[in-house]
Amino acid sequence: MANQFVIQLPNRPGALADLSEILATRGVDLRAIGGGGIGDSGHLIFKTSDDIATRAVLQEGAYEFIEGESLLVEVDDQPGGMARVARRLADAGVNIYGHLFIGRWGDQAQFSFVVDDIDAARTALDGLSSIHAG
């Protein structure tokens, strides 16, 4: 399962609980998740164990969402790692729909992005560090 979902949610108590309970009843495991909210609007960014079931839940619930192939990027774990990735993508005209911090291993940090043009993103990030679909 290589897709990442960016979902619009109302910024209210229970919005995350409602969606995560529906996913759980379908046997969908959340593999990575992030999000936030300001004012009336909230969002989630996540990867799951089952893209097809996740997509069905979101469509059936009339959630506004974007789905895209995950682009995994490893960078040196030091100040400026994210800045270098974001600047390269911006300079290439690539819009970031969502990103997740995946973890740290040794001196590397791994991020997962969903973008509007994955091929342009791969080209823009070529040579930065380890980049692959995930």
66-100 pLDDT, tens digit each: 999 989 898 888 888 889 899 999 999 999 999 99
SS3 78: coil
- Max intra-chain CA distance, the chain: 43
> 133 pLDDT band (50/70/90 cuts)?
very low
Burial class of 2 by CB neighbour count within 10 A (0 to 12, 13 to 18, 19+): middle
* Percent of the residues in the chain that have a pLDDT greater than 90, as a whole number: 72
Whether residues 39 and 53 fall in one domain? yes
> Cβ(5)–Cβ(50) under 8 Å?
no
First to last CA, the chain: 8
Residue holding tokens 């380890």? 130
Three-class secondary structure of residue 19 per DSSP: helix
For 23, the domain range is 3-68
The average pLDDT across 26-54 equals 94
Is residue 129 predicted with pLDDT exceeding 90?
A: no
- pLDDT, one tens digit per residue, over 106-123 is 888 999 999 999 999 999
C-alpha–C-alpha distance, residues 48 and 111, integer Å: 16
User: How far, in Å, CA of 68 to CA of 120, rounded?
Assistant: 14
Q: Which of 18, 40, 68 is the last residue of a domain?
A: 68
Which pTM value belongs to this model? 0.84
- What CATH number does residue 108 fall under? 3.30.70.260
Closest CA to 57 of 19, 87, 89, 83: 19
Instruction: Tell whether 34 and 86 lie within a shared domain.
Output: no
- Pairing verdict, β 65-69 and 108-115: unpaired
pLDDT at 34 over 90: yes
Tally the domains of the chain.
2
The answer to whether residues 57 and 7 belong to one domain is yes
Task: Report how far residue 120's alpha carbon sits from residue 63's, in angstroms, rounded to the nearest whole number.
Answer: 28
Given this model, what pLDDT does residue 33 score? Answer: 94
